[in-house]
Homo-oligomer: A and B are copies of this chain.
Amino acid sequence: MARRHDPERRQRIIDAAIGVVAARGIAGLSHRAVAAAADVPLGSTTYHFATLDDLLVAALEQVNAGWLADFGRWVDELDGDAPAADDVLRLVADTLAGDRTRVELEYELYLAALRHPRLRPLAADCLDEMARLLARRTGDLPTARALVAFADGLMLQHLLTGRPFEPDALRDGLTAALV
C-alpha cells in the first residue's frame, strides 16, 4: 500500500473541489470527482471532509476570502472624486469583462447558500463584509448596502442575459428613478 506523506493534501482537496464546481457545477460535486481531480484516493477526501457539506463549506470559505481580499484592495484604491455609484458601476463592468468562469463559480457557490443551511452564514458574512469595506468609501453602511445590492443585481442580470453592460444608461436611469 504505497503512501506518500502529503502535508498540503487538505488544501489541494479544497482547490480540487473548487475546480470541480467550476467545471461541473455544484450538482457535479462528489467525493469521487474531487478525489480524481486532486489525484488522491477516495478515502482521502472522505477522511478530510466526511460529508459533502464539509467540502462545500471549505470551498465557499476559500472563494469568499479571495473575493473579499480583491474587493478590499479595490476599495482602498478609490480616490473618492466620482460618485460612489460610478465606482461600483466600474467595478461591475471590470468584473464582467474579466474571467467569466471565476465570476460564475463565485456566484454559484454564493447563491447555493439559499438552499444549504451551513453555507448561509458564510454568504451573509460575505455580504456584510463587502458592505463594511465599501462603507470606507461611502462613509455610511446603508449607502454601502444599497450599492452592494445594486452591484449584485447587475452582475446577475448580465450573467443571465449576456446583454452588453452600459454604465452611463444605468447611472442615469437610477438617478431618474429617484426623483
Chain A residues proximal to chain B, CB less than 8 Å: 25-27, 83-85, 88, 104, 107-108, 111, 113-115, 120, 123-124, 127-128, 138, 140, 142-154, 156-157, 159-162, 166, 169-179
Bound complex: CA A107 to CA B113 (Å):
12
In the complex, the answer to whether A104 meets B108 with C-beta atoms within 8 Å is no
Contacts of A150 in B (CB 8 A): 146, 149-150, 153, 174
Contacts of A127 in B (CB 8 A): 157, 160-161
* Residue of chain B at shortest CB distance from A143: B173
Q: How far is the CB of A131 from chain B (nearest CB, A)?
A: 9
* Residue of chain B at shortest CB distance from A103: B114
In the complex, the answer to whether A142 meets B173 with C-beta atoms within 8 Å is yes
Contact A108/B113 with A128-B161, A157-B149 known, Cβ cut-off 8 Å: no
Q: How far is the CB of A85 from chain B (nearest CB, A)?
A: 4
